[in-house]
Structure 1
């Protein structure tokens, strides 16, 4: 780490579909004197924002350039196909890519699924410029669209629904920051997304006590007190033996016991 932060705020970029609200709330509770600045950026431009220094860290979609950016994977999303509510695919709870072989599958230019070749099904004549444009085409009855579940929810429409595609590529989300800018504030946010408590030592283990070190004075005193209690207990037991127990039978009232009378 580079040490203390020079900036008065922490700037976090995030891509569409990612909701940083929970982590932002925890940040504001723990670091009320360090404002958290949130900026939504296109998925394709997230790396540039981090490398240009326009954000301290970002919630981005994988993959990222690991030669220049550090990344902690957070979760992987389910992939769904967005379809009109009266589409035949709605008869099933989930589908495969093969089930979409006869469909026109839209492939927007900002697609985040990272297909090795191209999506399944038949390609459209043109690729929509954005995912939002592709959703409009689906609503117009021109093809279907595969995307991460969070984006399907983000672009929700009453006339559309979605179904899980079991064998499609999936999109991973990660916390990322420049390799040479791992600051204390970045480490603070890492702790939040990883669920560390306020009193966490950030994963550092306490230094082991050197060999031969004597126990703390308090512990020594405690041991002496305990020994004192044990001795006190022994004294009490001895006293009980001396003063307690069954009393001796007193001899009759006369002095020394005389000889028996002769009959």
Structure 2
């Protein structure tokens, strides 16, 4: 795999409600020579940007066309109903679709929920163009709105609130990129999103080489564990002629159920003569 020579930066598209800030900070720390450019787009446009090569990767809402785009699901959002603060359902900790049977439930054209079984409540005469427009209608007392939690927070107003809605479809967010363009930069961003450290062997980013032969120790298996194993035998210290080493070896032998070497005891008087 090779990095993209055509793009001077790594282009990340993300949909409303997603906050890529924490991953952006890590990218900027590790890739000072490759700036990350953020592009915000509605869900459908974000998928089109990726498929058309207008972005290198994206934080998008599922589903995506898996014949064109690769995707790693990241998390699934809680679904909530947005209502005026004086609405009856605010007395409950959570709401069921049956609780909305008498309400007009707005259905914006950019809705990201898959209502296979139909929306709860009564339909509005017209569908709002956007979620933002639907929020304005809720504030005007026209109806209520069902959205993922992040969109309720994004369009927060002081005169509105929200409650969890059980038994409703949910929206999942994924990291996606063009199937035919899995570049080194994409691999590195996957690692960042998955929480890999800079010392990870995955991706293009590598830590500086260790000094003093530590890297070779890791490869050959003769690092700290190997040195500790040698010390536990007592051979190194006993061979040096130190009394402490001999005692340690004797104690070690006793613990293992073997007798201490007799030559160790006879050697001391001859050494003092």
Band the TM-score falls in, shorter-chain normalisation: 0.7 to 0.9
Matches within 5 A, 1:1-263: 2-6=1-5, 7-202=7-202, 227=235, 229-231=237-239, 232-233=241-242, 237-242=265-270
Q: Residue deviations 1:106-142, cap 9 Å, x none?
A: 0000000111143111000000010001000000000
Give the structure-1-normalised TM-score. 0.81
Secondary structure of 2:192 counterpart? helix
Secondary structure of 2:39 counterpart? strand
Higher relative contact order (CA 8 A, sep 6+): 1
Q: Residue deviations 1:11-44, cap 9 Å, x none?
A: 0000000000000001001111110000100112
Q: Distance in 2 between matches of 1:70 and 1:157?
A: 36
Q: Distance in 1 between matches of 2:189 and 2:126?
A: 41
Shift of residue 80, structure 1, vs aligned partner: 0.3
Q: Mark the CA change 1:215 to 1:105 in structure 2 (over 3 Å): closer, same or farther.
A: closer
Shift of residue 5, structure 1, vs aligned partner: 3.4
Q: Distance in 2 between matches of 1:13 and 1:92?
A: 37
Larger Rg computed on CA atoms: 1
Shift of residue 3, structure 1, vs aligned partner: 1.9
Count of residues paired in the alignment: 232
Q: Distance in 1 between matches of 2:221 and 2:28?
A: 41
Shift of residue 202, structure 1, vs aligned partner: 1.7
Q: Distance in 1 between matches of 2:221 and 2:45?
A: 57
Provide structure 1 residue ranges, at least 5 long, that are not aligned to the other structure.
Answer: 204-213, 246-263
C-alpha RMSD over aligned residues: 2.6
Secondary structure of 2:114 counterpart? coil
* Higher share of residues assigned helix: 2
Shift of residue 215, structure 1, vs aligned partner: 7.7
Q: Distance in 2 between matches of 1:112 and 1:228?
A: 68
Q: Distance in 2 between matches of 1:35 and 1:142?
A: 45
